[in-house]
Amino acid sequence: MIHKPIIFSSLAAMAVVPATISSCVGADAISPEKPFNIVYIMTDDHTAQMMSCYDTRFVETPNLDRIAADGVRFTNSFVANSLSGPSRACMLTGKHSHINGFTDNEHSVFDGDQPTFPKYLQQAGYQTALIGKWHLESIPQGFDKWEILPGQGDYYNPRFINMQNDTIIERGYLTDLITDKAIHWMDQERDKSKPFCILIHHKAQHRNWLPDTAHLALYEDKTFELPDNFFDDYAGRQAASSAEMRIADHMDLIYDLKMDREDLTSALKPTYMSFVNRMDSAQRARFEEFYQPIRDDFFARNLQGRELAEWKYQRYMRDYAKVLKSLDNNVGRVLDYLDESGLLDNTLVVYTSDQGFYMGEHGWFDKRFMYQESFATPLVMRLPAGFERRGDISEMVQNIDYAPTFLELAGVDVPDDIQGVSLLPLLKDEHPADWRDQLYYHYHEYPAEHSVKRHYGVATDSFKLIHFYNDIDTWELYDLKADPHEMNNLYGKPGMEKVTAEMMERLTRARVQYADTIR
């Protein structure tokens, strides 16, 4: 059910000019017998550790697991730039950040005139829609319907911007509302004579992990396992030691952990209050009723040092898990709708995140680094009828591959300038002999929040080489088989000369292949 909106304000009109695209869509590009629909669900900062079809230690995600159980799970899925806006731009264009122009969240504005897969799908006769988080600082193009969040969006009684450039306040919890709107478009608004592609883009699991008040009591009886490297000292890793995303030191008591007290100050307290003040009186009463006893206990205990760090970790994990519960429930709603409407067998359902996230590994939260926890991202797909592949897909894939996959599924020729490769051969249970054996990565946002240095690198299934640059010039090399948690930097160590030379050659080839000269 769609909640009745309140028109909050009207934004200045912004013209949406269709991009000029060299057509690569033939008149018979879509099979008239069976054009496949595409439902692309993406969350923010959801990591494979917190998805039970990947890792059973922390949470259960039965509806997300349904997608994998009925389809495929990618076990080597990665991003090109572990940051929200850049990752979304890579997904839309099939190109690395330095090519699509959206390199970071601080200064970039997405050039909406450039080709994207939704525009190509429109030319091929698809209905297209985008509901939820956009975060690209421009007006969406290539969509018959869009309704987006301003900036990062609000968990409670959120604002949406519609195609008339009105900002609308909706009453409810954001994850539910995005799903309401997506199902309503599929059921009531689209032209049902055409195939469709809808992007359902959630704010969850983004910081600061404000749960639906109906789920506040969940996970309170669970003690989450502390990662072995939670108290990492970052020896031999200069860039890691300077990052400001340690749970112990940088996770804010008020903003992140809800330990608000009248006499307690924080630079992030005004932002926190702007979020919680969005609640109505009933929501706020439940919220305060739940958190106040936790606050009273916390301040009475006066925790310090390691005890405080471990307490922060448990609160972080619990709130993250509660936000994830809403997400999983709503993915189930979408799957149920597709099934009950007879659409499921003719629809590719994709679930992924814009990148991975640290759940205490290296003592961190957030993302950004090329280290595995943030470089990797979950990716599961439920395949349309006719695709018999099931189970795990182990080939190395990247988020620049989504655009060509969707285009090929729709019968659209993949443009030569797209840097990703279609995953359709893998979905057909083929194993191309020339499939990539390495991945390229480039993170650009520094100086900025969390102080993660700029870096680029190349990874195989065995080794990873990273160059940190700009106001630093350091190299890191990891043996991913012997050291999967990337604790031992082997760069410059005796005996690593041959591997280093091979990885340097790979890195040079990758930078030439993807035309990346930025450093």
Domain with 505 in it: what CATH number?
3.30.1120.10
In which element (H, E) is residue 403 found?
helix 402-409
Question: 391: which strand partners?
Answer: 72
55 and 79, same domain (yes or no): yes
For the domain that residue 82 is a member of, what is the CATH number?
3.40.720.10
Domain count, the chain: 3
Domain edge (last residue) among 316, 331, 346: 316
Cβ atoms of residues 268 and 254 within 8 Å: yes
Closest-CA residue to 66 (of 278, 349, 260):
349
Q: What is the mean pLDDT of each run of 10 residues along the chain (519 residues)?
A: 35 33 39 78 98 98 97 98 98 98 96 98 98 97 98 97 97 98 98 97 98 98 98 98 98 98 95 97 98 98 98 98 98 98 97 98 98 98 95 98 98 97 97 97 98 98 98 98 98 98 98 96
Pairing of strands 196-201, 37-43: parallel
63 and 161, same domain (yes or no): yes
388 and 485, same domain (yes or no): no
261 and 358, same domain (yes or no): no
> Which ranges of 368-513 would DSSP assign to H, the alpha helix?
372-375, 402-409, 424-427, 497-513
Closest-CA residue to 207 (of 246, 261, 153):
153
Cβ atoms of residues 375 and 457 within 8 Å: no
333 and 191, same domain (yes or no): yes
Residue located via tokens 């230690």: 57
414 and 297, same domain (yes or no): no
80 and 191, same domain (yes or no): yes
266 and 298, same domain (yes or no): yes
> Which ranges of 34-126 would DSSP assign to H, the alpha helix?
62-69, 84-93, 97-100, 117-123
pLDDT value at residue 315 = 98
Whether the link from the prior residue into 114 is cis, omega within 30° of 0, is no
Domain edge (last residue) among 316, 346, 374: 316
290 and 148, same domain (yes or no): no
Say if 178 falls within a structural domain. Answer: yes
176 and 196, same domain (yes or no): yes
Domain edge (last residue) among 263, 295, 316: 316
pLDDT value at residue 34 = 66
C-alpha span between 403 and 415 (Å, rounded)? 10
At 418 the three-state DSSP class reads coil
Closest-CA residue to 111 (of 122, 100, 103):
100
pLDDT value at residue 35 = 86
163 and 188, same domain (yes or no): yes
What is the domain range of residue 376? 6-12+34-209+317-431
In which element (H, E) is residue 439 found?
strand 439-443
